[in-house]
């Protein structure tokens, strides 16, 4: 005890840290499983930084050709790029390298998934309402950055799949009206596949620019939660002007560290036991080679789906191509989705809740049927596009014809949101009326007859 007192006194006399430390230790976290989604994202990010730092020690961001002499026999003697060579080498010839690489990849998938589900939780419970609009906007920005970061990451190894992804990214950049050509050319250092400078630019974006931005935004995100305190679900003793929950020290800190260890355990175990992105099987990228059934990481599925679903429309003026086709699926669709996401707090204030009062008590999804139904409808539209991204896998796995599937998804994109809206609204209204809880069953008082013939009520 006296040891910690000495440390505290040392810090307090120099920084006045005593008050700050007590503030942090006494900080109260409301309890609910869904509040852990953001923490899962945070801890995945920590695993990403740790494994990514290890990988950066061995990866060469260079597309210069060389001859492979590593221990993976099928590639020996092949002419490949330095980037691809170093990726295969760090997988096969660096101790623990493959574990780190696969853990890094799995962590990236879990990171974006946790951010996405966290965002859904925020939207469905109305946690974005005043006074949390700023933090909400920062969160949506982090989702966009996370996707960009992931794409940059799996584009680095210069294997067949990363090259195919970059070809599409270049075409999407080219498709921006008027400025697309010069913009894409500047970024790639020439016409696709560009010069070697592009690989270094991708690398610095992936290991420095975007992670630093993410780290800064995560810091602000957490600082704002500290300032405003976490939201809480309504319950006994819980009011707008208080926070009911577990103090950080010691209980919540132990629990949260336990969650960190669990997340890391799952990611490391998957990194060791479940293969992901075996680049040596895909082979090196050449712009004249393609493979059938190629799929991006899951979080880009909605973009490939949008590119695939779009009818072959292009807009021409005065003999120029004003709007090339990839613009619709690759730029317009994600921009609209993110604009809507950014606008959610203000759409809610203006059209759904129709009020601007601050809220610290969360809505359960059923409490606001209109908001829940609209959010579910919007989500279903994106989900349909996401599913369309795997229409080719539907053909491989189940034999559904590709062209028919695309027409089906085009129809579903228009129909599903309406159906989902009506159904969700109905369910919410019914749940709110009946007081039933879909996960916990029915709750209320039970009138029971006692042994002696009397009656008593049992609270459940």
Partner 1 sequence: MSPEEPAGGSREESSREGRRRRRLWTLLAALALAASRVLRPRGSRARSDRGPAPPVGAEERAERLVAALLLLTALSGAGFVTLFVLHPDTQLLGATLGACLALLALALAVASSRLVVSETKVEQRPMPGDPMEARQAAESVQAGGQRVTRRRLLGGAVGAAGAGLAAAVVVPVAALGPGLEDQLSHTPWRAGRRLVDAEGAAVLAADVNPGGFLTAFAEGVDQEQLGSPVAVVRVDPASLRLPAARAGWAPEGILAYSKICTHAACAISLYRSPLSPSTQARGPALVCPCHYSTFDVLQGGRVEFGPAGRPLPQLPLMVDAAGALRAAGPLSEPVGPAWWGDRR
**Is 113 one of the binding residues for partner 1 (CB under 8 A)?**
no
**Is 109 one of the binding residues for partner 1 (CB under 8 A)?**
no
**Is 171 one of the binding residues for partner 1 (CB under 8 A)?**
yes
Q: What does each C-alpha distance from 302 to 297, 382, 422 come to in angstroms?
A: 10, 7, 24
**Segment contacting partner 1 (CB under 8 A): 139-147, 148-156, 323-331, 425-433?**
323-331
- Judged by DSSP in three states, 91 sits in helix
Per CB under 8 A, the list member of 85, 149, 348, 392 interacting with partner 1 is 392
Question: How far apart are CB 380 and partner 1 at their closest, in Å?
Answer: 22
| Residues 71 and 63: beta-carbon distance below 8 Å | no
- Whose Cβ is closer to partner 1: residue 313's or residue 419's? 313
**Is 128 one of the binding residues for partner 1 (CB under 8 A)?**
no
| Residues 375 and 290: beta-carbon distance below 8 Å | no
Tokens of 220: 């602000």
Pairing, β 28-29 against β 65-67: unpaired
Per CB under 8 A, the list member of 113, 138, 141, 177 interacting with partner 1 is 177
DSSP readout, 9-40?
A: HHHHHHH-HHHHHHHHHHPEEPP-GGGGHHHH
Alpha carbons 5 and 181: distance in angstroms, whole number: 64
Alpha carbons 301 and 147: distance in angstroms, whole number: 11
H or E element: which one contains 355? none
| Residues 348 and 136: beta-carbon distance below 8 Å | no
x/- binding map, residues 261-300, to partner 1, per CB under 8 A? xx-xxx-xxxxxx------------xxxxxxxxx------
**Is 355 one of the binding residues for partner 1 (CB under 8 A)?**
no
**Segment contacting partner 1 (CB under 8 A): 311-319, 346-354, 365-373, 433-441?**
311-319
**Is 217 one of the binding residues for partner 1 (CB under 8 A)?**
no
**Is 28 one of the binding residues for partner 1 (CB under 8 A)?**
yes
Per CB under 8 A, the list member of 245, 283, 369, 378 interacting with partner 1 is 245
Beta bridge partners of 447: 457
State the distance between the two ends of the chain, measured CA to CA, in whole angstroms.
Answer: 44
Alpha carbons 344 and 340: distance in angstroms, whole number: 6
User: How many residues sit close enough to partner 1 to count as binding (CB under 8 A)?
Assistant: 99
Question: How far apart are CB 185 and partner 1 at their closest, in Å?
Answer: 5
- Whose Cβ is closer to partner 1: residue 103's or residue 116's? 103
**Is 192 one of the binding residues for partner 1 (CB under 8 A)?**
yes
Per CB under 8 A, the list member of 227, 439, 447, 458 interacting with partner 1 is 227
**Is 102 one of the binding residues for partner 1 (CB under 8 A)?**
yes
Question: How far apart are CB 62 and partner 1 at their closest, in Å?
Answer: 15
**Is 152 one of the binding residues for partner 1 (CB under 8 A)?**
no
Question: How far apart are CB 399 and partner 1 at their closest, in Å?
Answer: 15
Q: What does each C-alpha distance from 88 to 83, 316, 451 come to in angstroms?
A: 9, 45, 75
Alpha carbons 33 and 35: distance in angstroms, whole number: 5
Burial class (CB within 10 angstroms; exposed 0-12, middle 13-18, buried 19+) of 66? middle
**Is 191 one of the binding residues for partner 1 (CB under 8 A)?**
yes
Question: How far apart are CB 110 and partner 1 at their closest, in Å?
Answer: 14
Touching partner 1, residues 428-447 (CB under 8 A): none
């Amino acid at each position: 005890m006296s040891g910690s007192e000495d440390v505290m006194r040392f810090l307090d006399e120099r920084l006045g840290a005593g008050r700050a430390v007590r503030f942090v230790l006494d900080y109260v976290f409301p309890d609910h499983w869904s509040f852990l989604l953001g923490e899962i994202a945070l801890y995945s990010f920590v695993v990403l930084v740790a494994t990514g730092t290890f990988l950066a020690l061995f990866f060469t961001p260079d597309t210069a050709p060389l001859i492979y002499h590593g221990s993976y026999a099928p590639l020996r003697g092949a002419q490949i790029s330095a980037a691809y060579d170093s990726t295969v080498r760090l997988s096969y010839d660096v101790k623990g390298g493959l574990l780190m690489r696969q853990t890094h990849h799995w962590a990236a998938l879990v990171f974006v998934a946790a951010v996405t589900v966290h965002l859904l939780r925020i939207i469905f419970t109305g946690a974005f309402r005043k006074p949390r609009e700023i933090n909400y906007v920062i969160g949506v920005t982090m989702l966009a950055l996370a996707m960009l970061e992931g794409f940059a990451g799996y584009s680095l190894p210069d294997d067949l799949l990363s090259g195919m992804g970059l070809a599409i990214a270049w075409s999407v950049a080219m498709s921006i009206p008027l400025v697309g050509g010069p913009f894409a050319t500047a970024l790639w250092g020439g016409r696709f596949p560009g010069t070697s400078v592009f690989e270094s630019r991708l690398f610095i974006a992936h290991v420095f620019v975007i992670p630093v931005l993410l780290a800064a935004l995560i810091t602000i995100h957490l600082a704002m939660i500290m300032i405003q305190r976490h939201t809480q679900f309504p319950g006994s003793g819980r009011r707008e002007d208080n926070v009911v929950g577990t103090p950080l020290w010691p209980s919540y800190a132990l629990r949260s560290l336990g969650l960190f260890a669990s997340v890391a355990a799952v990611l490391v175990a998957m990194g060791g036991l479940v293969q992901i992105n075996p680049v040596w099987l895909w082979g090196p990228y050449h712009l004249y080679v393609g493979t059938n059934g190629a799929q991006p990481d899951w979080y880009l599925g909605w973009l490939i789906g949008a590119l695939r679903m779009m009818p072959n429309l292009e807009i021409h003026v005065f003999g120029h191509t004003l709007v090339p086709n990839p613009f619709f699926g690759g730029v317009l669709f994600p921009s609209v989705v993110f604009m809507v996401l950014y606008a959610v707090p203000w759409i809610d204030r203006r059209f759904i809740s129709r009020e601007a009062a601050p809220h610290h008590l969360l809505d359960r999804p059923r409490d606001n049927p209109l908001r829940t139904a609209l959010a579910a409808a919007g989500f279903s539209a994106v989900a349909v596009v996401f599913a369309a991204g795997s229409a080719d896998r539907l053909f491989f796995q189940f034999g559904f014809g590709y062209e028919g599937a695309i027409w089906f998804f085009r129809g579903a994109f228009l129909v599903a949101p309406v159906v989902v809206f009506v159904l969700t609204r109905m369910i919410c209204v019914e749940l709110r009326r009946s007081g039933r809880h879909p996960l916990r069953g029915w709750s209320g008082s039970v009138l029971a007859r006692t042994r002696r013939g009397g009656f008593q009520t049992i609270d459940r």
